[in-house]
């Protein structure tokens, strides 16, 4: 252990060895906080004789929890059962053990985002409300904010005057379905721990509590932490107020700012040495974040090299910005930088489209984090619904999903009849038996009977078959392959391959966890439902595109931060208060400190919004970086290649009409360009001949 401690800097070592009172570790970006947490756990087990299973370490994503657990196992061995979890996963375990305390059964279902919206759609319909005014997506967000304490039910009346009956009916339906949503997991976890006897048990059981990313905790998570830490004060939290970027979903920056007030005799240790960034990048980050008022204060430093200046590109239009980014990436790849070491950030997902187009034109492979996740694909959700039904008799949400998948001729009238039956019958076998008895058409009765028999067949297979064979069996008995072939002719093979990959994934999960049978599938389904965007990142030779929010906790040698305009970044919705602008500044600080070696910033003087190019102003955050740290990238004005001329047609015509000349048709005005280089197809309007589409090599671009 002494050798391990020698690997730490003085501040890290102090944090690992301190146990005299509650401890707040203020860990700046790239300061080695995960190393401190894992070494602290190893020190407790090896030197202080803590029972590893009675140490609770909590972080915010499955990916972070998995990586932390792996690093602990490297230090202590894979057979040491340290409890590393997310808040939500911890509460799932609490609920499985104490479900009756909150009126649930242990085999409750966790509804995902799509299921939640479907349920809200039913609620709106049942209350005879306007489906356009009361959209499931907007309602989902409002209800989540009510549950996590961002605002009260009364204050939510500002958004919807009927929010109270919606909230009440939605929660009642969840209870009837023995289901919970993401926010319920935390609420029920807190409620379970509010019972004095239960709270006292867990306070005694867990000898030490460590919480990572403490700045992201909301009010409910704070209360859970207080309950477990209890009066002992055996708690260590690690966080950075300068990286608090989730207040819009309930994170409370006051939790970290007020730690010394909330926990008596608390100790604060700052980790300010950065191991990730160059001196230039770090100096820029320090300069920007120093403009914030809501912070405890620290200044990061590094022994790394000075590094290259931060590059700044001022594009005329958003198309030109995307073209610049794609060409810059292509040049970096030519110089030997791996695509997986390059990331492009933007403030909102809508900004990715033009960047994607430009990367495709250059033939550069990329992955989007926060796009359609693997587990959100229709075919995956369909098969998982059948898997859930084989495990849970009362999972009526999954029953509605598979009622007509594959198609069985059971239309909306049958679905409505089924919905009425579920008001008095709770198991799918009972529901389907009653439905079969009520239907008059023999074809529909047979379809319902076959579905019930199929589910009965699946019921006992989770303990008989390996995960891969089970998924294969589900596909076979439901005729799902034929369904995919008939419904999705163009991408049938890809969808079927996704289903096969699901079998591989569960098989790997079983081998990694050692779980079998029903316990395996319960744990797997929980993990899938609670997955985050970062869980979808491939370790492939691809450039990564993501929002800045999704980038937190990651790092890349090369980073492009795009769309740096007022109203975009900072976002126009954040301009109403200084607190919101400070959060936008923290978000920019996160973006900057993801870059290890090379950072490029860009903005467009004109950006297309609502179909028109509109003037913009550069983001205030650019001006907060000292000018001596920035090198402006100039646009090429001479020696433009044929390919560049082709690609720039799109940019130029968005600013002014672009003219081309053809020997037969004369002068024409460009309307569209498809492809690139000399074989690009240019659609232009010629005054005497109308609209023509001509290969680029037969045209001359006029200045």
β-strand pairing of 666-674 with 700-701: unpaired
Q: Is 28 annotated as a binding residue?
A: yes
Q: Is 517 annotated as a binding residue?
A: no
Beta bridge partners of 154: none
Residue 594 appears among annotated catalytic residues: yes
> In terms of C-beta density within 10 A (0-12 exposed, 13-18 middle, 19 or more buried), how is residue 628 classed?
exposed
Residue 197 appears among annotated catalytic residues: no
Q: Is 675 annotated as a binding residue?
A: no
In contact, 516 and 315? CB cutoff 8 Å = no
Q: Is 29 annotated as a binding residue?
A: yes
Rg (CA), the chain: 28
* Residue 342 host element (H or E): strand 342-346
> In terms of C-beta density within 10 A (0-12 exposed, 13-18 middle, 19 or more buried), how is residue 544 classed?
buried
Q: Is 409 annotated as a binding residue?
A: no
* Residue 326 host element (H or E): helix 318-334
Out of 14, 34, 308, 671, pick the active-site residue: 34
Residue 377 appears among annotated catalytic residues: no
* Lookup: tokens for 206: 């867990």
* Lookup: tokens for 314: 């001022």
Out of 452, 594, 596, 606, pick the active-site residue: 594
| Alpha helices (H) along 148-246 | 163-176, 182-194, 196-205, 219-229
Report CA-CA distances (Å) from 664 to 668, 687, 692.
11, 12, 11
Q: Which of 404, 405, 415, 400 is nearest to 383 (CA)?
A: 405
> In terms of C-beta density within 10 A (0-12 exposed, 13-18 middle, 19 or more buried), how is residue 48 classed?
exposed
* Lookup: tokens for 135: 């959209």
Out of 115, 183, 184, 212, pick the active-site residue: 212
Q: Is 30 annotated as a binding residue?
A: yes
Beta bridge partners of 489: none
Separation of alpha carbons 403 and 500, rounded Å: 22
Residue 544: strand, helix, or coil: strand
* HSE (side-chain half, CA atoms, 13 Å) at 146: 23
Residue 278 appears among annotated catalytic residues: no
Q: Which of 566, 562, 557 is nearest to 546 (CA)?
A: 562
* Residue 80 host element (H or E): none
Beta bridge partners of 682: 673, 694
Query: How many Cβ atoms from other residues are within 10 Å of residue 417's Cβ?
Result: 15
Residue 221 appears among annotated catalytic residues: no
Out of 11, 12, 33, 606, pick the active-site residue: 33
Please give the angle made by the CA atoms of 160, 165 and 167, to the nearest 5 degrees.
80
| Backbone φ, ψ for residue 181 (5° rounding) | -100, 180
> In terms of C-beta density within 10 A (0-12 exposed, 13-18 middle, 19 or more buried), how is residue 233 classed?
middle
Q: Is 31 annotated as a binding residue?
A: yes
Out of 112, 213, 242, 394, pick the active-site residue: 213
Q: Which of 644, 528, 482, 517 is nearest to 109 (CA)?
A: 528
Separation of alpha carbons 177 and 170, rounded Å: 11
Residue 243 appears among annotated catalytic residues: yes
Summarize the annotated binding site as residue ranges.
Answer: 27-34
**Catalytic center residues:** 33-34, 212-213, 243, 594
Summarize the annotated binding site for ATP as residue ranges.
Answer: 27-34
């Amino acid at each position: 252990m002494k050798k391990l401690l020698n690997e730490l800097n003085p501040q890290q070592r102090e944090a690992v060895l301190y146990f005299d009172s509650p401890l707040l570790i203020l860990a700046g970006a790239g300061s080695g906080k995960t190393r401190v947490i894992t070494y602290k756990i190893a020190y407790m087990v090896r030197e202080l004789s803590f029972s590893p299973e009675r140490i609770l370490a909590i972080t915010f994503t499955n990916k972070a929890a998995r990586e932390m657990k792996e690093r602990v196992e490297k230090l202590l061995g894979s057979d040491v059962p340290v409890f590393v979890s997310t808040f939500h996963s911890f509460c799932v375990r609490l609920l499985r053990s104490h479900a009756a305390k909150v009126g649930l059964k242990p085999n409750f279902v966790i509804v995902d985002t799509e299921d939640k919206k479907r349920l809200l759609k039913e609620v709106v319909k049942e209350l005879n409300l306007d489906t356009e005014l009361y959209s499931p997506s907007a309602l989902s967000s409002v209800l989540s904010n009510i549950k996590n304490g961002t605002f009260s039910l009364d204050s939510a009346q500002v958004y919807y005057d009927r929010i109270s009956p919606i909230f009440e009916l939605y929660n009642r339906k969840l209870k009837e379905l023995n289901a919970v949503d993401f926010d319920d997991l935390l609420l029920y976890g807190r409620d379970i721990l509010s019972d004095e006897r239960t709270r006292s048990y867990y306070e005694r059981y867990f000898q030490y509590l460590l919480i990572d990313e403490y700045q992201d905790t909301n009010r409910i998570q704070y209360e859970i932490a207080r309950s477990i830490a209890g009066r002992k004060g055996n708690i260590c939290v690690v966080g950075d107020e300068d990286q608090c970027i989730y207040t819009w979903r309930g994170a409370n920056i006051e939790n970290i700012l007020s730690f010394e007030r909330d926990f008596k005799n608390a100790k604060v240790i700052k980790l300010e040495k950065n191991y990730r960034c160059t001196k230039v990048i770090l100096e820029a980050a320090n300069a920007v974040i120093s403009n914030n008022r809501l912070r405890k204060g620290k200044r990061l430093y590094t022994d790394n090299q000075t590094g290259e200046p931060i590059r700044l590109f001022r594009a005329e239009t958003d198309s030109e910005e995307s073209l610049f980014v794609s060409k810059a990436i292509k040049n970096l790849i030519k110089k030997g930088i791996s695509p997986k070491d390059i990331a492009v950030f933007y403030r909102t997902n809508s900004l990715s489209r033009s960047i994607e187009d430009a990367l495709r034109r250059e033939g550069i492979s990329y992955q989007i984090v926060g796009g359609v996740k693997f587990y959100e694909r229709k075919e995956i959700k369909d098969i998982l619904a059948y898997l859930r039904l084989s495990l849970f008799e009362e999972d009526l949400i999954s029953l509605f999903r598979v009622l007509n998948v594959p198609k069985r001729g059971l239309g909306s009238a049958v679905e409505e009849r089924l919905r009425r039956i579920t008001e008095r019958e709770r198991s799918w076998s009972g529901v389907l038996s009653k439905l079969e008895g009520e239907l008059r058409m023999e074809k529909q009765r047979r379809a319902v009977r076959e579905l019930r028999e199929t589910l009965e067949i699946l019921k006992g297979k989770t303990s008989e078959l390996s995960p891969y064979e089970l998924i294969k069996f589900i596909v076979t008995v439901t005729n799902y392959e034929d369904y995919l072939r008939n419904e999705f002719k163009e991408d049938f093979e890809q969808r079927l391959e996704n289903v096969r990959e699901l079998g591989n994934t569960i098989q790997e999960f079983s081998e990694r966890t050692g779980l079998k049978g029903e316990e395996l599938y319960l744990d797997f389904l929980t993990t899938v439902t609670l997955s985050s965007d970062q869980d979808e990142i491939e370790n492939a030779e691809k450039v990564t595109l993501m929002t800045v929010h999704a980038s937190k906790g990651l790092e890349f040698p090369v980073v492009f931060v795009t769309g740096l305009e007022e109203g975009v970044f900072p976002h126009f919705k954040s301009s109403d208060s200084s607190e919101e602008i400070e959060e936008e500044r923290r978000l920019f600080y996160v973006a900057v400190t993801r870059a290890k070696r090379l950072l490029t910033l860009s903005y467009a003087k004109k950006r297309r919004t609502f179909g028109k190019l509109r003037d913009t102003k550069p983001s205030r955050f650019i001006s907060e970086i000292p000018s001596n740290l920035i090198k402006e990238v100039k646009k090429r004005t001479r020696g433009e290649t044929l390919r560049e001329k082709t690609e720039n047609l799109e940019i130029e015509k968005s600013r002014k009409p672009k003219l081309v000349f053809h020997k037969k048709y004369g002068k024409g005005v460009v309307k569209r360009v498809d492809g690139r280089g000399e074989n690009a197809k240019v659609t232009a309007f010629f005054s005497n001949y109308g609209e023509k589409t001509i290969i680029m090599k037969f045209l001359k671009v006029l200045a």
